[in-house]
Amino acid sequence: MNRFGPTCRIQTTHICHEKTCQNNGACPTLDVNARAALNQFEGACPVGFVGLKCDKETARFYIHFELKLIAKYRYIPLMIVRLIYIYQYIQPDDSYRRLLKNVQLENPLPIFHRNRKLHQFDFAFISLYINANDIYGRYYLIASNNSRSSFQLATNRAMHINTTVIERNRCPYIDHFFNEQILNLVSLERAKFYQEPCHNYSALVCFHDDIFMYICDRFRVT
């Protein structure tokens, strides 16, 4: 009893009886010599919770879709959520890109992130791939560091963000604005025209080319 392993020689610990996991977390069997001797304990937490006892919420990102998009698509075969960081160094493990398949748009889309503050990202985008011909996807700006009203930044709880994908926040590809002559220019020569979309389209929030995403600021500058 209370042993496991190929030859039943590894003694287990009863630490789970003393430190029960919360939020339906599971208490794994531990090697008493390797873990319990150091008074270490770690639960196997369900999605949305972290911590030694699964007692801390992860950051939560709830993505809704406006009715116009739901009526137009209802179902998306593939979408990618990206968090973009600009002015701070982010460790590779803290970057974020989430790929989702076969998404029904009627229900809010919950996204969980193990970091409770999401590192206070600068921008969040979602790209929708409607069919096999969508090479670049259809990008939408869904949150920015200016959206403080939707962020819960209290130090004692995880960040919760509610946002909605709306058509007017779509980021078109550059062929929506430029003719073939400009599109055929090399990237450095073409970039000098990139102030025009923000200046000419007052409702435009962003656009992209093959490599970069461009944001229109409040001064209508790219």
Q: Which residue has the higher pLDDT, 107 or 146?
A: 107
Please check the confidence at residue 36 and state whether its pLDDT lies above 60: no
The CA distance from 77 to 103, in Å, is: 6
Please check the confidence at residue 144 and state whether its pLDDT lies above 80: yes
Residue (of 71, 141, 80) closest to 106 by Cα position: 71
pLDDT in tens, 74-83: 889 999 998 8
Residue (of 155, 147, 122) closest to 56 by Cα position: 155
Phi, psi dihedral angles at 54 (to 5 degrees): 60, 35
Query: Could you tell me the pTM of the whole model?
Result: 0.74
Please check the confidence at residue 152 and state whether its pLDDT lies above 50: no
pLDDT in tens, 91-134: 544 457 889 999 999 988 888 776 655 556 788 899 999 987 88
pLDDT of residue 133: 82
Q: Which residue has the higher pLDDT, 58 or 67?
A: 67
Mean pLDDT, range 41-52, rounded to an integer: 72
pLDDT of residue 153: 40
Compute CA distances 202 → 108, 176, 196, 199, whole Å: 29, 15, 11, 7
pLDDT of residue 218: 87
Helix (H) or strand (E) run with residue 129 in it = strand 123-129
pLDDT of residue 156: 45
N-to-C CA span, the chain: 68
pLDDT of residue 95: 57
Tokens 């969980």, residue located: 112
pLDDT in tens, 181-222: 999 999 889 999 999 999 999 999 999 999 899 999 888 888
Q: Please give the mean pLDDT across all residues of the chain.
A: 78
The CA distance from 44 to 21, in Å, is: 8
Domain map of the chain by residue range?
A: 1-57, 58-171, 174-215
